[in-house]
Structure 1
Amino acid sequence: MLQTERLILKLLDEEDEQCIVRWRNKINIIRHLFSFKGTTFSEHRRWFEQYIKHQDRMEFIIMIKENGKKIGTIGFNHIDYRNQKAEYGILIGEEEEQGKGYALEASRAFINYGFKELNLQKIYLKVFYDNDEAIKLYKKLNFQQEGVLRKEIYKNGQFKDVVIMSVLKEEWKES
Structure 2
Amino acid sequence: MTDNSVRLRPLREAELERIRIWRNHPEVRRFMYTQHEISADEHRNWFQRANDDAARHLLIAERRYADTASVPFGFVNLHVVDSDASRAIWGFYLAPDASRGSGSALGEVALTYAFTTLRLHKLCGEVLKNNAPSLRFHQRLGFQQEGVLRDHYFDGKYFQSVICFGLLQHEWQSQSGECI
Per the TM superposition, whether the score is higher than 0.5 is yes
What is the deviation of 1:78?
A: 3.7
Q: Is the 8 A contact 2:128 2:162 kept in 1?
A: yes
Whether 1:129 aligns to 2:107 is no
Over the aligned positions, Cα root-mean-square deviation in angstroms equals 1.7
Residues 56-67 of structure 1 aligned to structure 2 (within 5 Å): 56-66=55-65, 67=68
1:139 counterpart residue number: 139
Partners of 2:98 and 2:162 lie apart in 1 by 26
Query: Secondary structure of the residue that 2:24 maps to in structure 1?
Result: coil
Residue 49 of structure 2 aligns with an amino acid whose one-letter code is Q
Q: Is the 8 A contact 1:25 1:38 kept in 2?
A: yes
- What TM-score results when the alignment is normalised by the length of structure 2? 0.88
Q: Is the 8 A contact 1:17 1:44 kept in 2?
A: yes
Partners of 1:9 and 1:116 lie apart in 2 by 13
Partners of 1:4 and 1:14 lie apart in 2 by 26
Q: Is the 8 A contact 2:90 2:123 kept in 1?
A: yes
Q: Say which of 72, 88, 97 aligns to 2:90.
A: 88
Query: Secondary structure of the residue that 2:127 maps to in structure 1?
Result: strand
Query: Secondary structure of the residue that 2:7 maps to in structure 1?
Result: strand
Which 5+ residue runs of structure 1 have no aligned equivalent? Answer: none
Partners of 1:155 and 1:21 lie apart in 2 by 20
Residue 125 of structure 1 aligns with an amino acid whose one-letter code is G
2:48 counterpart residue number: 49
- For these two proteins, the number of residue pairs brought into alignment is 171
Alpha-carbon displacement from aligned partner over 1:150-170 (angstroms, at most 9, x marks no partner): 111111510000000011112
Partners of 2:19 and 2:98 lie apart in 1 by 15
Which 5+ residue runs of structure 2 have no aligned equivalent? Answer: none
Q: 1:140 to 1:35 in 2, by over 3 A?
A: same
Whether 1:24 aligns to 2:23 is yes
1:150 counterpart residue number: 150
Partners of 1:169 and 1:101 lie apart in 2 by 23
